[in-house]
Amino acid sequence: MSIPRKIIHLDLDAFFCAVEELRDPALAGKAFAVGGPPESRGVVASCSYPARRLGIHSAMPMARAVRLCPQLIIVPARHGAYSAVSRQVMARLHALTPQVEQISIDEAFLDVGDHGEPAEAIARQLQTAIRAELSLPCSLGVASNKLVAKIANNVGKAAARGDSPPNAILAVPPGEEAAFLAPLPAEALWGVGPRTAERLAALGIHTIGDIARWAEADLVRRFGKHGADLSRHARGIDDRPIVVEHERKSVSQETTFSRDVSDRALLEQTLTGQAQDVSRILRKQQLAGTTVKLKLRWADFTTLTRQTTLPQPIDDAATILATVRTLLARTWQGQPVRLIGVGVSGFAEEGARQMSLWEQPDARTERLSEVVQALRSRYGEQALRRGSDLGAAPLR
C-alpha cells in the first residue's frame, strides 16, 4: 500500500457576494444576489446566505428570485473585480505548493503531500490566512483523493446552517473513504446525473454505499465504462492526479451564426471583430504569438482549422486579420459556414514581441478599448457590441 496522498479541495463561500460585501459592507447579512436585472432575463450568478435561506440559488432566473423575495437586492456583476480577487487567492495557494489545480474562479485542488504537517492543519491555516489577509470566507475538504475531498467539502458546507458563510472544514481520514461515502445519496457522486440516478433507483440503488456493494461486472454490463468508474468512485477510489495549471497556450474567439452564412463580406466582418477581440486579450495578458489559426465549421458540422506560422510573435489586430483573411481565401469556396473563429498561439517566453515600424500607440483607440472592456466586465460580454456585429449575432 502506498502512502496516502494529502488532497485539499478549497471553495470560496458565495464568492461574488463576498467580494461585493467587501465593497459595500452594508450588504452583510442582507438577502442579495449578484447577476443581471430581471427585466433583461438576467440570472442569479451568486447569492448571499440569507437569500439562500429563502430558496434562491445560483442559475435561477432573477425574475423568479425577485418573486421569492421581493426585497432582494440585485447587485450587477463585476467580473473584473472577481478575477482580481481570485488571482490573489490563487497566488496564496501557489505560495504554499506548486501542486495547485484551479477548477474555476473560486475553486481549486491542492496536493500538500510535500508538507510534513497533517493536511487538516494546513487546511485550517489556509482558511485563517485567507480570512485574515483577504477578508474572504472559504470552505475546505480534506481527503486522500480529489473525489472524496470535493464531496467532503460539499458535505461540510451543507452541514452549516444559518445566515453566515459556512467556513467549513471536513477531513476524511485515509482508509475511511468508503465508509464516509456510503450513507450519501448516489447523486452526490461525480458523474451521477438525474438520468443515471433514475436508472440506479430502478435497481434499488439509492446511496453511494448501495453502488459500492453492487457487483462491478454488472454495473459495467449496464453502464459500460462509466459503470466501472461508478463502482470505483463509490468505494472511494480515485487516482486522478492534480493537474497543475498550464500557462495559457492560446487565445481565441469563435462565433456560431444563428443562420449559416455564405456571404464573404459577413464572414470577413465577423473575423474583423474577432481579430480585434483576440488582439485586445493578447495585449491585456501581455502575450504575443507566432501562430495564427482560422477555424471553420460547415453546416454539416465538419470542422477544420488552418494555421500560419509567422516569422515573429504578433499581437496586433491588423496582422491577425490579414493572416486569417488569407487563410479564409485559401480554404473557403462559398459553402455555408456555421461557425467561424480566430486564434493566436505559439507564445514566446516573457511575452516579448517584435514591435512594428509603423507602431503608433493610438491613445484614443486604447482608451476606447479600456472603456468597452470595463463596461463588458461589469455588465457582461453582451452588454456592448459593435453595430456591425448585430446581423451576425447568435439569437438568444
Partner 1 sequence: MRVGVLQENLAKALSVVGRAVSSRSTMPVLGNILLEARDNQLRLAATNLEIGVNCWIGAIVEDEGAITVPARLLVDFVGNLPPERVDMELSVRTQTLNLRCLKIEANLKGIDAAEFPHIPTVSEQNGPGLMDSGDGVAIELESNGLRRMVDQVVFAASSDDSRPTLTGVEVTFHNSRITMAATDGYRLSLRSAPVESALPDDKMVVIVPAKSLAEFARISADADENQPVQVLVTQSRNQILFQIWGRNQEGKGGSFHRVELASQLIDARFPDYHAIIPKTHTTRTVVDTAAFLKAVRLAILFARDNANIVRLRINPANGAANGQLSLTATSAEVGDSVNDIDALVEGNDLEIAFNGKYLIDVLSQIEQPQVLLETTQPTRPGTLRPVGMGEDEFLHVVMPMHPSR
Q: Give residues in contact with partner 1 (CB under 8 A).
A: 286, 288, 290, 310-313, 322-323, 325-326, 348-359
CB of 135 to partner 1, least distance (A): 30
> CB–CB of 217/188 below 8 Å?
no
CB of 320 to partner 1, least distance (A): 10
- Shorter beta-carbon distance to partner 1: residue 135 or 356: 356
CB of 321 to partner 1, least distance (A): 9
Instruction: Report which secondary-structure segment, H or E, holds 170.
Output: strand 169-171
- Shorter beta-carbon distance to partner 1: residue 311 or 334: 311
Catalytic residue among 21, 39, 101, 107: 107
- Which runs of consecutive H residues, i.e. helices, occur in 135-173? 146-159
Give CA separation, 181 vs 86, 150, 172, 220, 355, in Å.
30, 12, 10, 20, 57
- Shorter beta-carbon distance to partner 1: residue 9 or 293: 293
- Shorter beta-carbon distance to partner 1: residue 221 or 248: 248
| Amino acid making up residue 54 | L
| Amino acid making up residue 104 | S
> CB–CB of 288/246 below 8 Å?
no
> CB–CB of 141/232 below 8 Å?
no
CB of 326 to partner 1, least distance (A): 4
Is position 268 annotated as part of the catalytic site? no
CB of 359 to partner 1, least distance (A): 7
| Amino acid making up residue 103 | I
Give CA separation, 369 vs 222, 261, 314, in Å.
54, 28, 18
- Shorter beta-carbon distance to partner 1: residue 300 or 349: 349
For 282-321, b where at least 16 C-beta lie within 10 A, e where not — what string? bbeeebbbbbbbbbbbeeeeeeeebbeebeebbbbbebbb
- Shorter beta-carbon distance to partner 1: residue 302 or 356: 356
- Shorter beta-carbon distance to partner 1: residue 233 or 353: 353
Cell of 253: 474567439
Please give the Cα distance from 54 to 52 (Å, whole number): 5
Please give the Cα distance from 275 to 269 (Å, whole number): 10
CB of 315 to partner 1, least distance (A): 9
For 121-146, b where at least 16 C-beta lie within 10 A, e where not — what string? ebbbebbeebeeebebbbbbbbbbbb
Please list, in sequence order, all residues whose beta carbon lies within 8 angstroms of the beta carbon of residue 111, skipping any fewer than 6 positions away. Answer: 5, 6, 7, 97, 99, 241, 242
CB of 311 to partner 1, least distance (A): 7
Supply the residues annotated as catalytic: 107
